[in-house]
Amino acid sequence: MASNGVDEIKLVEGPAGYVLEDVPHLSDYILDLPTYPNPLQSNAAYSVVRQYFVDEDDTVQEKIVVHKDSPRGTHFRRAGPRQKVYFKPSDVRACIVTCGGLCPGLNTVIREIVCGLHFMYGVTEVIGVDCGFRGFYSKNTVALTPKTVSDIHKRGGTILGTSRGGHDTSKIVDNIQDREINQVYIIGGDGTQKGASAIYKEIRRRGLNVAVAGIPKTIDNDIPVIDKSFGFDTAVEEAQRAINAAHVEATSVENGIGLVKLMGRYSGFIAMYATLASRDVDCCLIPESPFYLEGKGGLYEFIAKRLRENGHMVIVIAEGAGQDLVAESIDQQDASGNKLLKDVGLWMSLKIKEHFAKQSVMDITLKYIDPTYMIRAIPANASDNVYSTLLAQSAVHGAMAGYTGFVSGLVNGRHTYIPFNRITERQNKVVITDRMWARMLSSTNQPSFMNPS
């Protein structure tokens, strides 16, 4: 096994090219930690299920599509309860924090961490950190019990509040130490998980017996390795309402255009899935697929063609699409350092109106809908509620088992522990497969990615 200092990756190599990118464990840097039987062993609900506990050697393969000569490739540690745990439940003092933008399902994750710790492991001390990372050192905490969180999954937002910026690693870890917290659950996107990674490293540098677990939040699916995270399903479902409204507006007038902007700074998943689900969309523009406005193969030509053919059209655009075209791009960042994007939907609606007014070929009526903040603030749908619950449970099992510096994610449909370093780089992931193209092109109204190639 390769050594695993704070900045090194913990790798285990096996025959035939098998590589396990393992997650750190508290026992990697604190020797002679005591272990205890997992309380689930004596829980009537679990003890009957003989295979409930995860075999220590179980791993999950990163790439599921292989060829006959492929090496066995990268694996991650399978998530789930272990036979023994590294914390005595009565000694656990856990905290939960939510950071970054809102996303349906945040409250479900909070609820399940509290209930999972309580009902599966008998942990009673869980506190919530108010308003994101800065809350560790500038705000009060709130006690969380199964009773106080019982209904929160039915509400949107996060009962803990959230923020951008304000990550001060040293002050945060001082506070963790002062409050004698020994399990830290951090819910947020790629920025948050970078912050979580810094916290883990500092905790490890100080040699503290504190497990750090991340639960990735990515409404727009821009986190690599994991299949998706909670909030995405709800976002795609809710986007249908905006697309339907755009379609009704467009079909109610002559040469009507409905333009809908959906979330996706770097990944067009919400736009693309919402398009595929709806079938009312004629053109879907995503950051991964460049397009242009003027001339042959450009958006204006496509719009004119669709209006002549069909009398109306619906365009869906992801917020990060076409940013290179937006004239005065703004060189500003939010408190977390994310580049502020210009409202490409608003910009595009003005450009389209301007173009057709100038051309005087046809009069158009364009309605622009941006449902972003409505979507972010709704409660998770049933499927995301299930998903958030399971991700939270896995995180609890992992922390109780002494793993640290990991996120709880789904890889190829399996609950998995992934080291922070693998998921903190943002990724464009929409790969437009042949099958997707076929589905797009076979639809009656031929939605297109407007890819000039």
Ligand X SMILES: Nc1ncnc2c1ncn2[C@@H]1O[C@H](COP(=O)(O)OP(=O)(O)O)[C@@H](O)[C@H]1O
Binding site for ligand X (CB under 6 A): 99-101, 132-133, 163-167, 188-192, 194-195, 198, 336-338
How near is the Cβ of 134 to ligand X at its closest, in Å? Answer: 7
How near is the Cβ of 163 to ligand FBP at its closest, in Å? Answer: 10
- Chosen from ligand X, ligand FBP, none, partner binding at 263 (C-beta under 5 to 8 Å by type): ligand FBP
Q: Of all residues in this chain, which one has the CB nearest to ligand FBP in the complex?
A: 101
- Chosen from ligand FBP, ligand X, none, partner binding at 166 (C-beta under 5 to 8 Å by type): ligand X
Residue 81 is classified by DSSP as -
Whether 208 contacts 180, CB under 8 Å: no
Residue from 25, 82, 201, 265 touching ligand FBP (CB under 6 A): that is 265
Residue 104 binds to ligand FBP (criterion: CB under 6 A): no
Handedness of CA 324, 328, 331, 336 (dihedral sign): negative
Residue 355 host element (H or E): helix 344-359
How near is the Cβ of 197 to ligand X at its closest, in Å? Answer: 8
Residue number with CB closer to ligand FBP (116 or 231)? 231
Residue number with CB closer to ligand X (3 or 332)? 332
Residue 189 binds to ligand FBP (criterion: CB under 6 A): yes
Q: Which two structure tokens, joined as six digits, stand for 141?
A: 């905490």
Active site (catalytic) residues: 220
- Chosen from ligand FBP, ligand X, none, partner binding at 376 (C-beta under 5 to 8 Å by type): ligand FBP
Residue 263 binds to ligand FBP (criterion: CB under 6 A): yes
Question: Which residues, 6+ apart, have CB-to-CB distance to 200 below 8 Å?
Answer: 24, 212, 404, 405, 420
How near is the Cβ of 262 to ligand X at its closest, in Å? Answer: 17
Residue 317 C-alpha from the chain's centroid: 20
- Chosen from ligand FBP, ligand X, none, partner binding at 243 (C-beta under 5 to 8 Å by type): none
Q: At 179, is the secondary structure helix, strand, or coil?
A: coil
CA distances from 368 to 172, 321, 343 (A): 43, 16, 11
Residue 425 binds to ligand FBP (criterion: CB under 6 A): no
Between CA 324 and CA 330, with CA 326 as vertex, the angle to 5 degrees is: 90
Instruction: Looking at 30-168, list the stretches that DSSP marks H as alpha helix, in order from N- to C-terminal side.
Output: 44-47, 106-115, 121, 135-138
Residue 167 binds to ligand FBP (criterion: CB under 6 A): no
Q: Which two structure tokens, joined as six digits, stand for 361?
A: 């070929």
Provide the pairing of β-strand 73-78 with 414-419: antiparallel
Q: What backbone torsions phi and psi does residue 55 show, to the nearest 5 degrees?
A: -65, 135
Show the site string, 328-367: x = touches ligand FBP by CB under 6 A, - = not: ------x---x-----------------------------
Whether 73 contacts 18, CB under 8 Å: yes
How near is the Cβ of 165 to ligand X at its closest, in Å? Answer: 5
Sites for ligand FBP among residues 64-103 (CB under 6 A)? 100-101
Residue 153 is classified by DSSP as G
